[in-house]
Amino acid sequence: MSERRICVVTTSRADYGLLQGLMQAIREDEALALQVIATGMHLCPEFGLTYRAIEQDGFRIDRKIEMLLSADSDSAAAKSVGVGLLAFADALVELSPDLIVVLGDRFELLAAAIAALLAKIPIAHIHGGETSQGAVDEGVRHAVTKMASLHFAATEAYRLRIIQMGEEPCRVFAFGAPGLDALHQIELLTEPELEARLDFALAGPIALVTYHPVTLERDTAERQIENLLIALRQERVRAVFTKANADAQGRLINRRIARFCQDHPADYRLYDNLGQRVYLSCLRQVDLMIGNSSSGLIEAPSFKLPVINIGDRQRGRIKAANVIDVGYSTEEIAAGIRQALSRAWREKIQDMTNPYAGQGDGKVNFHIKEQLKQVELNEAFLKKQFCDIPHNIHQRPHFPAAP
């Protein structure tokens, strides 16, 4: 019996950290053959050429697909999808995978998913069913869900939402967030080790800051990042910054942070790519997290780390007790910082649980891998049925009043 070829697509340092455990599980299973396509930010010098981290971990990259245009605009993102679609169409013909695996909601995934759909290659989608109402990611994620034939949601609520979208329940699983398996497998750095790796003192209070553009808003990034930087100085919080991603206005954010760190080198440092071990070690060692990254909702709760979630980018996602939602103004961000650093708040969240942890046994990737191996890949698998939710078709729908 020939090996089943599983092709994993990774677009950035962020999704690779979440996919790494699954890639390892696939590679170690004798019944499976791992294929890897690296694209997007992995191949950009300004984001640290992070495809090299994949290779350093011992994975062979079967195809590198250049698709990102350098322009910092909405039209550049759309054109990048077009460039990527051409390249993915060729790559999938050459690799001929039995199944393709994608994770999340990056716009680059549209190219991979469309190419796979038209090539009649089944798609397995991880982290579907979630919402991020302030970002283009919302539409991308749900579009990929409808193109996919197999689904791995991070929570039961997200599993039900995928079913609500018409997907067959027998194809939708909720094992938990695969990236959290790393907490059971990686030996994190001590504070002195982390300081040496960062070449940066962690004397507090210190924050891990990741701020991405809110892609369904127009030209708001400059004002928003400025308000955040003012709040950090005002509250005397030092920070480790990671770069914004390659969305429209992401480069603007990164340039402003770079200037800020150059002006205050003793208190602020910007990194192209921390890598999974260093990033998770930061979550364990810093005093709080600030920004609008999904890792504040998914990984940070496992460390009982206070998170200040700014604005609408993550609006609609399930949030643990450690998350403090604030608006975009300097005053709101500063108030959130004070709350997060207070003894009362830190004591309040000590007994919290992470809603994305599944069974909490570190075996999410094993369970996903087993489904990838066991699912029957036939014509019926590609010809999905739309499963209607029973309802009274004569009942008028109820819509909540606008805020």
Domains of the chain, earliest start first: 4-184+362-382 (3.40.50.2000), 191-348 (3.40.50.2000)
Helix axes 221-234, 250-263, angle to 10 degrees: 30
pLDDT of residue 72: 66
DSSP 224-266: HHHHHHHHHHHTT-EEEEE---SSTTHHHHHHHHHHHHHHSTT
Tell me the two tokens of residue 171: 């194809």
Residues of the chain with pLDDT under 70: 1, 71-72, 134, 215-219, 247-248, 391-403
Tell me the two tokens of residue 21: 């455990």
pLDDT of residue 403: 39
User: What length is written for the chain?
Assistant: 403
Nearest residue to 210 via CA among 242, 238, 250: 242
3-state helix, strand, coil in the chain (%, to 5): 45, 15, 40
Tell me the two tokens of residue 292: 């609008």
Distances in Å between the Cα of 122 and the Cα atoms of 47, 159, 164, 366 are: 30, 19, 21, 20
pTM of the predicted model, to two decimals? 0.87
For residue 309, the tally of other CB atoms under 10 A from its CB is: 25
pLDDT of residue 248: 67
The residues that bridge with 310 in the sheet, in sequence order, are 326
Distances in Å between the Cα of 55 and the Cα atoms of 6, 134, 187, 205, 398 are: 18, 34, 20, 35, 52
pLDDT of residue 353: 93
